[in-house]
Amino acid sequence: MVQVVDVPSMASWIASAGAEARIAGIADYIESDFTNWKSFDKVPRLAAHSRDGVIELMPASDGELYGFKYVNGHPVNPSRGLQTVVAFGMLSDVATGYPLLISEMTLLTALRTAATSALAARYLARADATRMALIGCGSQSEFQALGFRALLGINALTLWDTDPAALIKAEANLTRLGFEVRIAIDAADAVAEADIVTTCTADKTLATILLDEHVRPGMHINAIGGDCPGKTELDPHILQRARIVVEFEPQTRIEGEIQHLPAEQSVTELWHIIRAEAPGRVSDEEITVFDSVGFAIEDFAALRYVRDTLAAAEAGELDLLAAPADPKDLYSLVAASVSTPA
């Protein structure tokens, strides 16, 4: 039998400790797995692009466990009454190849994205940062805010989105969660007083939602919306004067903000900073950009955390594994249903 975490079970698991605690726990697991980066089999995610979006598989293994996530990104989906992103994942035992856990990962990906963002900011943002601007107030916005409060103590937010309904939704949810919220009149106004800027829009385009002239010395930019070829959010001039940190450079060169930069422009992978092989923020004036597209080790860590903290009552079971009495006699499971010729 394989443990199964469906959407109600995931929601119950999150509620049992609270979203902030779950994000912080996932961040700890990501930090641990990034510390062990060299032990992982790693590849850029496998993507199937279409006119309306992308479907991706994201595998990773540390030699003991194997994990993968199936995830889509379809910006047109909300107009159809559907989520932009849905996902599920699996964790398996490498020694036997048997699945151990199957989980929904739409909610879990929101938690792990927030955990990764806040973890990177803990190394890259100024220690005295107090206000974050959220540009893009869709499904990720509340989770990002909770993550930054959990790991950095950020409680003051400025919101901006071109969709008034998204702004109203985010303001209501975040105010209810105890954040100090200000609604901006445009992107420039949103970042005017911000120490940290999170950009998270969904359109699959080469957009520029944050201009170079808006970025002040000392700002940390958490760029999480550019996550496939042909989709960006930042003025390229920002990247030319900022220190850029990524998750897995071969993947980010394809999908991230850096996809159009020359190969010789250097970037730093986050695991080097976590392992103290490269510095985090080096001065209060430095501009830092976390060009995050999401990477499979983060999902692997999130699935491990779920498995390790899941109460028996919060998971179901699925009879997914054929188990004949004789392992070499798989046919025995169907023999009774097969008619014998007369």
Q: What is the pLDDT of residues 5-30, one digit of tens each?
A: 999 999 999 999 999 999 999 999 99
pLDDT, tens only, 39-93? 999 999 999 989 888 899 999 999 999 999 999 988 889 889 998 889 999 999 9
Nearest Cα to 154, choosing from 139, 174, 170, 172? 174
Altogether, the residues listed in the chain come to a count of 342
* Residue 220 amino acid letter: H
Question: Taking 90 as the threshold, does the pLDDT of residue 288 lie above it?
Answer: yes
Tell me if 300 sits within 8 A of 86, measured CB to CB: no
Q: What is the pLDDT of residue 184?
A: 97
177 burial level (CB within 10 Å; 0-12, 13-18, 19+)? middle
Cα–Cα distance for residue pair 3/315, rounded to 1 Å: 6
Q: How far apart are CA 229 and CA 235, in angstroms?
A: 16
What mean pLDDT is predicted for residues 155-162? 96
DSSP letter, residue 194: -
Distance separating alpha carbons of residues 332 and 324, to the nearest angstrom: 7
Distance CA 202, CA 226 (A): 8
DSSP state of 75: T
CA-wise closest residue to 305 among 44, 148, 105, 86: 105
Q: Given this model, what pLDDT does residue 215 score?
A: 96
pLDDT at res. 49: 87
The CA-based dihedral angle spanning residues 16, 20, 26, 27, taken in that order and rounded to the nearest 10 degrees: -160
The pLDDT value recorded for residue 76 is 87
Is the separation of the CB atoms in 171 and 141 below 8 Å?
no
Write out the catalytic residue numbers.
227
pTM of the model: 0.93
Does residue 336 have a pLDDT over 90?
no
Answer yes or no: is pLDDT of 251 > 70.
yes
Q: What pLDDT shows up at residue 202?
A: 62
220 has which bridge partners?
196, 288
3-class SS at 53? coil
Give the separation between CA 107 and CA 10, rounded to whole angstroms: 7
Could you state, in order of their start, the residue ranges of all structural domains in the chain? 2-107+297-322, 124-294
Residue pair 187/214 in contact (Cβ under 8 Å)? The answer is yes
pLDDT value at residue 16: 94
Task: Specify which of 44-58, 64-78, 107-121, 196-210 reaches the highest per-range mean pLDDT.
Answer: 107-121
Rounded mean pLDDT, 289-306: 97
**Mean pLDDT on 288-296:** 96
Summary mean pLDDT of the chain: 93
Q: CA of 194: how far to CAs of 15, 100, 132, 284, in Å?
A: 30, 43, 5, 14
Q: What mean pLDDT do residues 191-206 have?
A: 83
Confidence of residue 203 (pLDDT cuts 50, 70, 90): low
Please provide residue 319's backbone torsions phi and psi, each rounded to the nearest 5 degrees.
Answer: -80, 80
Lowest-pLDDT range, 204-208, 236-240, 278-282, 291-295? 204-208
Position 257 pLDDT exceeds 70:
yes
Q: Is the pLDDT of residue 338 over 80?
A: no
Quick one: fold of 124-294?
Answer: Rossmann fold (3.40.50)
**Closest alpha carbon to 131 in 181, 67, 57:** 181
pLDDT at 151 over 80: yes
Q: What is the CATH number of domain 2-107+297-322?
A: 3.30.1780.10
Report the distance separating Cα 77 and Cα 216, nearest Å.
Answer: 35
Main-chain phi, psi angles of 44, to 5 degrees: -60, 150
On the question of pLDDT at 324 being above 80, the answer is yes
Only one residue has tokens 């994201």, namely 58
55 burial via Cβ count (<10 Å: 0-12, 13-18, 19+): middle
Alpha-carbon gap, residue 148 to 20, rounded angstroms: 9
Banded pLDDT at 204 (limits 50, 70, 90): low
From CA 311, how far away is CA 147, in angstroms rounded? 23
- Quick one: DSSP state of residue 249? H
